[in-house]
Structure 1
Amino acid sequence: MKRIVKLEGLCCANCAAKIEEGVKKLSGVESASLSFMTQRLTMEIEEDKSETIMEAARKLANKIEPEAEFKILR
């Protein structure tokens, strides 16, 4: 299942890389890519773990970049 999240207010490429690496390590995440330029996190995840993964990704992003707003687009 593909999920796309907008991280508005992402301040630097280093933070984006840290978030991407952290999300890739979450259980149930098959792939993840975060573009600093578009501020979009694109993930392929296991459908039955969608809610758990999205909440874990939100917490991870808030820990690394608390100023960024986590908006689920799809």
Structure 2
Amino acid sequence: MQKKFKIEVDCANCAAKIEQAIQKLPGVNSASVSFMAQKMVLDAEDDKFDEVLKAAVKAAKRVEPDFEIEL
């Protein structure tokens, strides 16, 4: 399952670090974080999507505590 989310990230470097952190999570097929568009695309296994999304937000907040996502 692939979903798009509107996010708030402060810089391109943080977006790249967040993307790398999310891609390493178990259950993630792919992830894309765009600073310019302020969007995140997450592709994960259907049956574990909510779990993976929570882990992705947690990983993003470790990189940038001000990270926000609209669910």
TM-score by length of 1: 0.87
Tell me the residue number matched to 1:56: 55
Separation in 1, partners of 2:2, 2:33 = 13
- The alignment's C-alpha RMSD in Å is 1.0
Structure 2's unaligned 5+ residue stretches are none
How many residue pairs match? The answer is 71
Tell me the residue number matched to 1:32: 31
Runs of 4+ residues over 6 Å off in structure 1:
none
Residues 36-74 of structure 1, C-alpha deviations (whole Å, 9 max, x = no match): 1011110111001111101001111111111121112xx
What is the identity percentage for the equivalent residue pairs of Structure 1 and Structure 2?
Answer: 46
Structure 1's unaligned 5+ residue stretches are none
TM-score by length of 2: 0.90
